[in-house]
Amino acid sequence: MTYCVAMRLNAGLVFLSDSRTNAGLDQISTFRKMTIYEREGDRVLVMLSAGNLAITQAVKQVLSSETIDGGDGKPITIWTAKSMFDVARIVGSAVRKVHARDADALKKHGIEFNCSLIIGGQIQGETLRLFNVYAAGNFVEAGIDGVCYFQIGESKYGKPVIDRVVTPDTPLQEAAKCALISMDSTLKSNLSVGLPLDLLVYEADSLQATQLINIDESNAYFRMIRSSWGQRLRDVFDSIPDPSWDQAASSVQTHTGVQQSQAMNPINKIAGPDA
């Protein structure tokens, strides 16, 4: 399992991925989940992968030579595509090609075709775009209906903080901080996600990936997050009043005086088998 998150903001893009693919008492494997395709001044494409490692590696191999019809009879690749939409189409085509080749054989061995990808970046002359590509090769784009981020892999632990903090107007460095806190929450709760991490912060229209860092146990900033985030949560938790129960009344009342909703009837207690 793994955890990857990518954010599309007005100021740029943030990508973060862990590197654990297998976890057990005597086996922990590490493989990078982030792949960067860059032609400086022309395009920066970033792909994050989750799912079966053999499948995602096969997709990457196929992607290097995959083409689709450009509409004018000429094939296009990720290096010649004029739009990120076409890049997403090419990634989806690569996924379908691997599925057609391997899915039946995997099924015979009881293995599901499990593959999730995030592809995002910018091509010269086009705005920032971010896509989530599914195992069927279809995809959706961030920025539609207010959704400005995607998660793949073990996403549930790191989702709440992103939902509360990140909007399209969030500054890049603040979004990067939020992504790292999201990752820390996941690391805390799930053994199948682990260090080291890859973090890329891309500034809009720069057309180069310069803010890229690998984060391991020795990274001072991430160590600070890991040590302080839990304590800050505890401090906030302790600052919230405990509920108090008024045994003389039929409703639940907190210290702030807010009463239980009267929209539902009180719960009936079952007193015995004949009740």
DSSP state of 123: E
Q: Residue 1's pLDDT is what?
A: 75
Token pair for 175: 């979004």
pLDDT given for residue 262 in this prediction: 59
Beta-strand ranges (E) seen in the chain are 3-9, 12-17, 20-23, 28-30, 34-39, 43-51, 68-69, 75-76, 115-123, 129-133, 139-141, 149-153, 197-203, 211-215, 243-244, 253-254
Mean pLDDT by groups of 10 residues along the chain of 275 residues: 95 96 67 97 98 95 95 94 98 98 97 97 98 98 89 96 96 98 95 93 98 96 95 95 70 52 76 82
**pLDDT at residue 144 in the model:** 72
Gap between the Cα atoms of 151 and 112, Å rounded: 20
Whether the ω angle into residue 196 lies within 30 degrees of 0, i.e. cis, is yes
What residues are paired with 17 via a beta bridge? 4, 198
Q: How many CB atoms lie within 10 A of CB 47?
A: 27
pLDDT-above-90 percentage for the chain: 79
Amino acid in position 95: V
Residue 204, judged by CB atoms within 10 A of its CB (0-12, 13-18, 19+), counts as middle
Q: Which of 179, 7, 201 is nearest to 187 (CA)?
A: 179
Supply the DSSP symbol for 241.
P
What does the chain come to in residues? 275
Position 7 scores a pLDDT of: 98
What confidence score (pLDDT) does residue 250 get? 45
Owner of token pair 């929209």: 263
| Per-residue pLDDT at 146 | 78
